[in-house]
Each structure stands twice: as C-alpha cells, then as structure tokens.
Amino acid sequence: MSRSYLLLSLATLMLATSIPAVAARKAPASQSRPYVETSYLIAPKQVGDFELEGASYDANQKYSGAGFRYMLKGHQETRFDVYVYPAGRLDPASAVDDGMKGFRYDIAQAVKQNIYTQVQELHDSPFPLSGAEPEDSVPANDIDAAVMKAIADTGRVTGHKLQMRFNLQPRDWPMYSSGYLFYKQLYYFKLRASAAQERITQESFDSLTDLAARTLIPALQVANVGECANATIYLNPDTTPEQGAVELVRQSRQHQGYNCHSSAGQAGIEQSRRSAEVIEITYAADEWKSQ
C-alpha cells in the first residue's frame, strides 16, 4: 500500500460528509436547533433467517426507547428482544460500562420482585462487533498504519455480554439467559434472550444468542435528524500535516458513526419503511442539547 491510502481515505470522507477538510479550533457556535430533534429507530422485517415478530413503543415513556422482538426459523423455543433507547454522545467504553450498571440494576430488581430466583452469572465479558476490514490490510508506512487503525477503531461497535441461569417464577422454570449491550448511533442497543433449559442445550443456546447479536445489532439502525448533522473538527495546530490528516479521518469517521442527517429525506426514512418497522421519537428543544 502506498501513501495514496491516506489520500483516498480523506477524499472518500470529503465526499461522504459535509465536514470540511480543514477546521480551526474555536468555540462552538450557539445553536437554535436541537442536537437531535428526531430519531428514527429502524428494525428490518427480515434479517437473514431472523424475522421481526413485533415492535413496541410508548410515547409517554420515550426515554425507555422501543422494543423489537425477533424469531429465528427452526427455533421456536427462543425469542430475541432488542431494546433501543437514547444514550447521548458518550465515550463508547464509558457508555457501555454505565449501561451495564443499569442492566444489572434491572436484574437485581427482578430478583427483588421474585421474578427471578437462583440467579447464576456464568460469563461476563466484552463483546465488540468489528466493522468492515480495509481491502488491503498491509500498511506501507506508519501514517497508513495510523489511518487504518483509526478506521478500525471508529468502525468497531463497543459491546458487552452477560450470560446467566435463573429460575423464572411463578412456575420455577430453569432458564438459560443472555444479555448483550452495545452503544452506537447515540443510542444503547440491548439484546435479551431466554429459553427453558429443558428445550435447548447450553451450548446451542449460546451459539444462537451470539449469532443473534452479530446479526441483528448491525442491522438495526437509528437515524438521527437535527443539529448533530453538522460537526466541527478540532485539530491541534502544532501537529504535523500527517498527524492532522489522521486525526481528521478519526473524527470524521466518528461523526459518521452518529448517523446524523439534516432531514428525514436525507436519511432515506421513506425508503426504509418499505422493508422495516420505523419508530419515530421526537425531542423538544430542551430535551437533547448536549453534544
């Protein structure tokens, strides 16, 4: 790979976004438009062998987001629920750490209410989802390597997995259960799946839930509309041109990951409705200002 990999990356970013190639460091201008005024939660009706069974959303509880239930052909014993709810613009690792605290709180509440008993945590570990790999993965020099790393890092979806067993009350059914939490597009994506132990082996259940996470989470999307469509990139004037270019790639890719648009038309919402369930969540000017 030659130095052209860096130049190609920059050219692609300039075509794909409205972010200028050079941005001076300055204080953000005041904005009248909310950072996010509308979010469109997009759940495809079919993702491989996974089929959407239903969706739920309560406009009076919009900060709880929406839920989408999927089934997998040939596996009637298991349903896969994906909950999508707002998080904000956060550091991905910190977002998942905080989100897992809420996840564990919900489990503790279920135990307290005697919904779950005999809860056992079997496995607790990071579960990242990798983005697309560059076509040519061999860097020609240090700058190319830095660009490729920036692309890989910003393309990765940070996630975590919690694997459990418990008894489901009031019938005292022994259950396998797995939960996954991810942060992307300014939202949390939480996948939950449970199945009766008498209907599936632990190994088969684990394989199914991992497959569900790797298949459904990349497929479900949140398209955001608002001021977040505009971005300012901050570059250190003391860095070299090469370092500045790498930082430009990193920040531009990070902004692309927020999936922000200036309008629903630009986001292609009407086209999405043809093959997906789309839930619209609107925010008032004072509800989502933080960038």
Mean pLDDT of 1-10: 48
Tokens 């009350």 belong to 169
Which strands, in side-by-side order, build the sheet including 276-282? 260-261, 221-225, 38-44, 276-282
Instruction: Render pLDDT for 210-250 as a digit per residue (tens, 0 to 9).
Output: 999 999 999 999 999 999 999 888 888 888 877 777 888 88
Per-residue pLDDT for 257 more than 70?
yes
Task: Indicate the average pLDDT of the chain.
Answer: 86
Q: How many CB atoms lie within 10 A of CB 126?
A: 10
For 18, residues 6+ apart whose C-beta sits below 8 A from its C-beta are 229, 230
**Kind plus residue range of the DSSP H or E element containing 193:** strand 187-196
Sequence-distant (6+) residues with CB within 8 A of 160 are 96, 99, 100, 124, 125, 126, 127, 180, 181, 182
Instruction: Please give the pLDDT value at position 137.
Output: 65
- Residue 255 vs residue 250, higher pLDDT: 255
Give the whole-angstrom CA distance, residue 266 versus residue 16.
12
What is the pTM (predicted TM-score) of this model?
A: 0.85
Tens-place pLDDT, residues 89-123? 999 999 999 999 999 999 999 999 999 999 999 99
Question: Binning pLDDT at 50, 70 and 90, where does residue 20 land?
Answer: very low
pLDDT of 23: 46
Short-list 189, 134, 123, CA closest to 6: 134
